[in-house]
């Protein structure tokens, strides 16, 4: 069965990849690496520098494919990038595409995945996104300052600003009612992630059953 990994690389230090990312590299036959170079050189690719270090440290031999990912957003590029990744499956069964930081934060991963879903639903179904450490988690750790504590919240926005917001709700007390939470996009409830009792509901639960619960109001 063909398998695609979308691997988050963390903010730049190869030591900040996850164990899961490392295992996905070990399982991958080929790794697709974004580069800003039209000529598909790895010279301008930060992602390549991280991957190169990891492959060297863990003595892994992989086929590397440069994928030209320009700075400007253009659906035609995402479609081409998806196509180039899919073409790797003509030669390999397990392929990775890497992204900086975490895949959920302003990454091309989900644009590309939309096209992969359209062009090859079975590879989409068998794909796995591996989360990673964000640039702002590292920034906070560097200066030992928290991003949110107590009743404060965290906002992540592009420099030019926006009114569109994905909202994450956390730290609900057991038994707390969720009726005050207005749904703007589509709320999912995540309970006890990674435990044997993990539950993911495609809705807002009426009340919080466990402290380890997240509600995310996705605008996408």
Ligand X SMILES: C[S@@+](CC[C@H](N)C(=O)[O-])C[C@H]1O[C@@H](n2cnc3c(N)ncnc32)[C@H](O)[C@@H]1O
Q: Which C-beta is closer to ligand X: that of 102 or that of 217? A: 102
CB of 166 to ligand X, least distance (A): 14
Cβ-proximal residue to ligand X, closest one: 101
CB of 181 to ligand X, least distance (A): 25
Q: How far apart are CA 3 and CA 19, in angstroms?
A: 18
Q: Which C-beta is closer to ligand X: that of 29 or that of 77? A: 77
CB of 43 to ligand X, least distance (A): 18
Give Cα separations from 124 to 3, 119, 141 (angstroms).
9, 9, 34
Contact between 213 and 172 (Cβ < 8 Å): yes
CA angle 22, 24, 25 (to 5 degrees): 65
Q: Which C-beta is closer to ligand X: that of 105 or that of 141? A: 105
Q: Which C-beta is closer to ligand X: that of 55 or that of 105? A: 105
CB of 197 to ligand X, least distance (A): 29
The DSSP bridge pattern shows strands 186-191 and 213-218 to be: antiparallel
Binding site for ligand X (CB under 6 A): 11-12, 100-102, 105-107, 134-135
DSSP state of 192: S
Q: How far apart are CA 53 and CA 47, in angstroms?
A: 10
């Amino acid at each position: 069965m063909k398998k695609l990994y979308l691997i988050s690389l963390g903010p730049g230090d190869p030591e900040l990849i996850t164990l899961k990312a490392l295992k996905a590299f070990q399982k991958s036959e080929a790794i697709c690496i974004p580069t800003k170079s039209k000529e598909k050189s790895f010279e301008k690719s930060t992602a390549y520098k991280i991957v190169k270090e990891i492959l060297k440290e863990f003595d892994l031999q992989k086929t590397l494919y440069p994928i030209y990912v320009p700075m400007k957003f253009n659906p035609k590029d995402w479609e081409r990038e998806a196509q180039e990744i899919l073409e790797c499956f003509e030669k390999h069964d397990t392929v990775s595409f890497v992204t900086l930081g975490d895949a959920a934060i302003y990454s091309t991963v989900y644009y590309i995945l939309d096209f992969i879903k359209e062009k090859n639903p079975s590879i989409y179904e068998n794909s796995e996104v591996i989360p990673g450490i964000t640039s702002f988690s590292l920034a906070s750790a560097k200066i030992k300052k928290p991003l949110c504590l107590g009743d404060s919240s965290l906002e992540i926005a592009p420099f030019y600003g926006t009114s569109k917001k994905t909202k994450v709700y956390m730290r609900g007390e057991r038994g707390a009612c969720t009726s005050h939470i207005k749904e703007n996009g589509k709320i999912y409830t995540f309970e006890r992630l990674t435990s044997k009792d993990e539950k993911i509901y495609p809705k807002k639960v009426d009340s919080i059953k466990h402290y380890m619960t997240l509600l995310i109001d996705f605008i996408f």
